Amino acid sequence: MSESTEKKMVRLRSSDGEVFEVEESVAKVAKTLQDMLEEDCADAVIPITCVRAPILTKVIDYCKDQVMISSSSSTTNNPNERTEQERKAWGQKFMEGVDSSTLCELLVASNFLNIEGLLNLGVDKMVSMIQGKYPQEIRDMFNVVNDFTPEEEEEIRNQNAWAFERDPYYKKRSSSK
């Protein structure tokens, strides 16, 4: 406790009015906030207008973890230091159970706050969700409204018919297993 009071705290306000108090080092993971803090234009509460409280919680979780890694890796032979694999696994765990709408909000937030690592994690997760899907599945998953007329859709589908074909080689391999 005594340690945290020594550190400079930054207050962030989410779009729905909730205020979060975080250490400056945590806030600085976000490049947008870092710039603001360095220019000393963030004395009071920093409003983050496009991010809701639950999303901001998640973002702060991520930032805290980043701070933990970077502070621990500065000391040598630290057990907290992660290998590439562990980092991947951690990223997967972090993104586990995130539904598509939260994910979209996370993407918007990390883009706004300019947190590259989180943005990459989000994009990777999104790519894995889209991977191998068909248009209807995408629409269902992300609530995208199909604004094509049936004729238009048919036309585009016919133009790209090859993309809808199953890969014969792929099928053969998976069936032989």
Partner 1 sequence: MAPRRRKSKAATTEISALDSYLLMLILLRLPVKLLHRLKCVSKRWNILITSAFPPQRLGTNSGFLGFDHRGGFGGYFPRSHDQLLLPPRSASLEHAVRFQDPDFPKRLTSLRPTTRPLVPMPEDPHGTNSNFIALEFDPTMSLRYKIIRSLHTCCNPSERVVASTQVQQQLVRMPFLELEIFSSETQKWVRKNVLHGPHGTCLPGHVLLLNGSMYKLVHPNYVVGFAFDDDDRRRNLVPLDVNKQTSVSVLPVDDNFSGTGCLSTWGGWLHYTSCDGVLVKIWRVSDFGNSAWEVIHVNSMAIMRGIVCRDITRTVIGGDVVFSLAGYSPDFKLLFLDKEGRVMGYDYPTRTMHKLSNLMPWTREHKGYKLQPFWPSLFNPRKIPEALAYTPYVIY
Residues that bind partner 1 (CB under 8 A): 15-17, 49-50, 52, 100-101, 104-105, 107-108, 111, 119, 123-124, 126-127, 130-135, 138-139, 142-148, 153, 156-157, 160, 162-165, 167-170
Between 37 and 105, CB nearer to partner 1 = 105
Between 42 and 119, CB nearer to partner 1 = 119
CA–centroid distance for 146 within its chain: 26
Tokens of 47: 């409003």
Maximum distance among all Cα pairs of the chain, rounded to whole angstroms: 68
CB of 152 vs partner 1, minimal distance in Å: 8
The values of phi and psi at residue 9, to 5°, are -105, 150
Tokens of 158: 């016919």
Supply the angle between the helices 135-142 and 100-113 in degrees, to the nearest 10.
Answer: 80
Tokens of 153: 């859709």
Between 10 and 105, CB nearer to partner 1 = 105
Between 19 and 68, CB nearer to partner 1 = 19
CB of 166 vs partner 1, minimal distance in Å: 9
